[in-house]
């Protein structure tokens, strides 16, 4: 089965560069942007051999998994472009819900999909996808933004900081090709809502409605600091807001999130 764009993505003018195997779809997208590619273009494979995630962690996609990066060239500040990672989470969650529903109609299993700050989709509490956003100036106030989205379709790694899952491991029999078609359409819709950052308020609202463990105790490891409290919300820039035991509301712009029991967090 060949990788293909969804009908909505095709109608919106997205292009597709599909690879049988590639080192990193993000790396390829950035190289094309430096060479003058203006997008919007998807770079997609079902086998990625040297991909990377946040904090330069490896993200390898064995044959049958999905690695997809979308290149968008725009005129927005980097701080605004960064909020596209929340749009990507929404698009992935929407696509996963769609293909899972279709698989369930064929007699397959089901799973609950939720969003985890800053850029993961969880399936039944386990990491199913990862998102990596990278951006570079390409001249004349134009910013090349690449949003990489990787999904464990047929296999999940066993050496991750968090428990990981795959769709097939959960009993959801879908292909990377069908998931990508759904994802490209979902991205087209969510990207339209985002609207160069003007629609982030709606993105934020929808993201919070799908957030895992909202209102529950959380521990954030940010650099050498650890911040414990209650996951209260995300603000209008995408920072996670933690309410600490002494009542402070602390904004977190980057860090690793760990969920804790109320007793272990010291939260009331």
Does CATH place domain 7-209 in 3.40.50.300? no
CB-based contact 144:133 (threshold 8 Å): no
pLDDT digits (tens, 9 = 90+) for 222-239: 878 899 999 999 999 999
Give the percent of the chain with pLDDT over 70.
93
pLDDT of residue 51: 63
Sign of the four-CA dihedral 120, 121, 127, 133: negative
List Cβ neighbours of 111 (8 Å cut-off, separation of 6 or more).
100, 123, 124, 165, 170, 172
Q: 159 Cβ partners below 8 Å, 6+ apart?
A: none
pTM of the predicted model as reported, rounded to 2 decimal places:
0.91
Compute the distance between CA of residue 70 and CA of residue 206 in angstroms, rounded to an integer: 21
**Domains 7-209 and 217-265 alike in fold:** no
Residue 51 vs residue 248, higher pLDDT = 248
The H-or-E segment that residue 114 falls in is strand 113-116
State pLDDT tens for residues 28-79: 999 999 999 999 999 999 999 976 554 455 555 789 999 999 999 999 999 9
What is the third-level CATH fold of 217-265?
A: SH3 type barrels. (2.30.30)
CA 51/CA 66 separation, integer angstroms: 12
Rounded Cα distance between 5 and 19, Å, is: 14
Domain positions in the chain are: 7-209, 217-265
Structure tokens at 190: 């969510």
Q: Is the pLDDT of residue 263 over 60?
A: no
Rounded CA gap, 78 and 182, in Å? 27
How large is the average pLDDT for residues 186-206? 98
pLDDT at 267 over 50: no
The pLDDT tens digits for 87-129 are 999 999 999 999 999 999 999 888 999 999 988 999 999 999 9
């Amino acid at each position: 089965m060949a990788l293909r764009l969804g009908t909505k993505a095709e109608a919106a003018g997205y292009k597709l560069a599909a690879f049988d195997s590639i080192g990193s779809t993000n790396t390829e997208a950035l190289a094309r942007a430096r060479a003058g590619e203006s997008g919007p273009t998807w770079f997609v494979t079902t086998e990625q051999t040297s991909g990377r995630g946040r904090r330069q962690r490896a993200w390898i996609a064995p044959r049958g998994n999905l690695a997809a990066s979308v290149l968008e060239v725009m005129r927005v500040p980097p701080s605004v472009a960064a909020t596209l990672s929340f749009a990507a989470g929404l698009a992935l969650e929407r696509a996963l819900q769609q293909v899972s529903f279709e698989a369930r109609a064929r007699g397959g299993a089901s799973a609950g999909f939720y969003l985890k700050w800053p850029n993961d989709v969880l399936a039944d509490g386990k990491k199913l996808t990862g998102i990596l956003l990278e951006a570079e100036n390409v001249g004349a106030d134009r910013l090349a933004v690449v949003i990489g989205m990787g999904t464990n379709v047929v296999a999940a790694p066993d050496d991750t900081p968090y428990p990981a899952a795959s769709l097939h491991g959960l009993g959801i029999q879908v292909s990377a090709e069908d998931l990508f078609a759904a994802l490209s359409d979902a991205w087209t819709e969510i990207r339209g809502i985002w609207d160069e950052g003007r629609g982030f308020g709606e993105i934020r609202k929808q993201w919070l409605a799908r957030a895992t463990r909202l209102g529950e105790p959380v521990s954030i490891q940010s650099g050498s600091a650890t911040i414990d409290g209650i996951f209260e919300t995300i603000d209008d820039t995408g920072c996670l807001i933690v309410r600490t035991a002494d009542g402070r509301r602390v904004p977190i712009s980057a860090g690793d999130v760990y969920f804790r029991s109320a007793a272990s967090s010291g939260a009331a």
